[in-house]
Structure 1
Amino acid sequence: MRITVLALAALFLAGCSGEEQAPAQLKPLSLAEQASTVVKSDDGYVVNWAGVLSNDNPWHFGEHVVATVVGRDSKGAEVVRMDQPLDAVPPGGRLAFTGQAVADGKPAKVTIEHRPAQWRQAARVVSAFKPFRTSRVQSLRQKDGSYLVMGTVANPYRLPASSLVVSALLRDSAGKLLGGGSAFVDDVKTGTTPRFILTVDGVPSSAKVARTETVVRTWGSTARPYEELALGGAVPVHTVKPTTEPFLRDRARQAMPGDEH
């Protein structure tokens, strides 16, 4: 009887130990935002889209993600389909993506879906993945209704970034996504601020663009380009030596009235 009780207790403890060591289940990526427009052209109908994927896992990259964009006409027939490979989604972050395709028939509805990600644990803590900053961003509406977005991008890392993707998301006063466009910037070295220029097509004439959000990411379906930059280290924020003379003596604490000596 005693042997049976001890055996059951051992099995119970082993089961508890296994539950404690089991890895937490990763949350799937979610499509936080999407927008699409259809414009008539000489070749058919141009479908433009923009989307934002969200990764709620704080320690894992989402890799090898593919977005599938499907357009259907008023009868439900498929008139356009495109599989778009996406860049790696950073831990606890978001990924903006944009695209364009031509359909033979006019799509009445456009949907965006995505395949499950392959997960990879980050090689560094999340704080090591510094964002790429943009500055001097301008958004100009053109005569044909498109928007020309330009600005500069900076690299916060010691190593040069071989290829970056800059995405511009146009939003109204309430923050609703209206459309977007993307462009590549290559060989971004530390201390330089190369310029980017991109075009956002298909924005409805009735839409009122209130602001432009720019997002920069490394190019590639895996986390390797981003991790290589992070492993190389970030550039210190303060890199200029002080120009003032040092104090002749250290400023010690001054005695206050009532202090005991």
Structure 2
Amino acid sequence: MIPRIRTIAALALILVTGCSAAEKPPVQMKPLVLKEQASTVAKSADGYVVNWAGVLVNSNPWHFGEHVVATVVGRDAKGAEVVHMDQPLDAVPPAGTLAFTGQAMASAKPVKVTIEYRSTQWRQAARVPSSLRKFPVSKVQTFKQKGGAYLITGEVGNPYVLPASSLVISALLRDKAGKLLAGASTFVDDVQAGKAPRFILTVEGLPPSAQVAKTDVVARTWGATGRPYEELALGGAVPMHTVKPTTAPFAKDRGRQVLPGESKP
């Protein structure tokens, strides 16, 4: 009887385990959303310079959106395609955004520029998303140039112990209502912990009627995957408070209330 009882128990365990595995729902990933996009067209000696900026949103709290490709298409007044460019983008962090910019040349003037994206691959973050800290940007200044371009300067820091080999700095120009007008990007290499190297970039192509009221500047790791970001997080963050207190310690505890039944010291 004992072997029979053991056999029945084993079969029951297999059935329960199989049902639990079958009932586990697959992870449904929410697609990236192109929250904002803007473009500008400026005449040049070789044709037309087309600049664009966009913001992708990843609402998945535990997964990176990797190997994303943006497709930028510009059409002239007759609907003919005069610009077509596939732009590989950096990884979009979990529950985060990706600001990106780009530039292309066109022989004819496009009157409409659209941005779409494709080729998203999802990968669960190897680190807790809360460990993926933002790269602090400070001392941002925006200067309008005589030719209508905007010069943006500032400093970028590294909140991690390990040095960041390369960071992408993206500046987005907005009007009073917060609408995205244009943007541009640059790179800063070898950002050491405790240092704040300066960056400088130029946003061009805005029409004279553009009213820039605000500049948003963000920094991120460079690459189609989130590995560089995770490697920095794996190395640990720089402690927020590193200065030793200068005041003398208290001679005794301040006014601790004695609980009932407890003797005073």
Q: Does TM, scored on the shorter chain, surpass 0.5?
A: yes
Give the 3-state SS of the residue equivalent to 1:17 in structure 2: helix
> In structure 1, how many angstroms separate the alpha carbons of the residues matched to 2:178 and 2:245?
42
User: Could you tell me whether the CA contact under 8 Å between 1:68 and 1:82 is conserved in 2?
Assistant: yes
Give the 3-state SS of the residue equivalent to 2:91 in structure 1: coil
CA positional deviation for 1:17: 2.7
CA positional deviation for 1:20: 3.8
> In structure 1, how many angstroms separate the alpha carbons of the residues matched to 2:250 and 2:46?
73
> In structure 1, how many angstroms separate the alpha carbons of the residues matched to 2:90 and 2:40?
23
| 1:143-196 deviation per Cα after TM superposition (whole angstroms, max 9, x unaligned) | 111100000001000000000000000001110000001010000000000000
CA positional deviation for 1:125: 1.0
Aligned length: 249
Give the 3-state SS of the residue equivalent to 1:40 in structure 2: strand
User: Could you tell me whether the CA contact under 8 Å between 1:169 and 1:177 is conserved in 2?
Assistant: yes
User: 2:170 aligned with 1:167, yes or no?
Assistant: yes
User: Structure 2: where are the runs of 5+ without partners?
Assistant: 1-12, 259-263
> In structure 2, how many angstroms separate the alpha carbons of the residues matched to 1:46 and 1:115?
24
State the AA in 1 paired with 2:158: N
> In structure 1, how many angstroms separate the alpha carbons of the residues matched to 2:17 and 2:78?
58
Give the 3-state SS of the residue equivalent to 1:127 in structure 2: helix
State the AA in 2 paired with 1:83: D
User: Could you tell me whether the CA contact under 8 Å between 1:142 and 1:148 is conserved in 2?
Assistant: yes
Q: How does 1:7-22 map to 2 (within 5 A)?
A: 17-18=20-21, 20-22=23-25
RMSD: 2.1
State the AA in 1 paired with 2:166: S
Equivalent residue for 2:207, pick from 185, 204, 207: 204
State the AA in 2 paired with 1:176: K
Runs of 4+ in 1 over 6 A off after TM superposition: 12-15
Match of 1:149 in 2: 152
User: Could you tell me whether the CA contact under 8 Å between 1:29 and 1:116 is conserved in 2?
Assistant: no
User: 2:75 aligned with 1:72, yes or no?
Assistant: yes
Identity %: 71
User: 2:67 aligned with 1:52, yes or no?
Assistant: no
User: 2:36 aligned with 1:33, yes or no?
Assistant: yes
Q: TM-score with structure 2 length normalisation?
A: 0.89
> In structure 2, how many angstroms separate the alpha carbons of the residues matched to 1:123 and 1:13?
30
Q: How does 1:74-89 map to 2 (within 5 A)?
A: 74-89=77-92
Q: TM-score with structure 1 length normalisation?
A: 0.91
> In structure 2, how many angstroms separate the alpha carbons of the residues matched to 1:84 and 1:96?
13
> In structure 2, how many angstroms separate the alpha carbons of the residues matched to 1:24 and 1:82?
32
Equivalent residue for 2:253, pick from 250, 253, 260: 250
Give the 3-state SS of the residue equivalent to 1:79 in structure 2: strand
> In structure 2, how many angstroms separate the alpha carbons of the residues matched to 1:65 and 1:75?
30
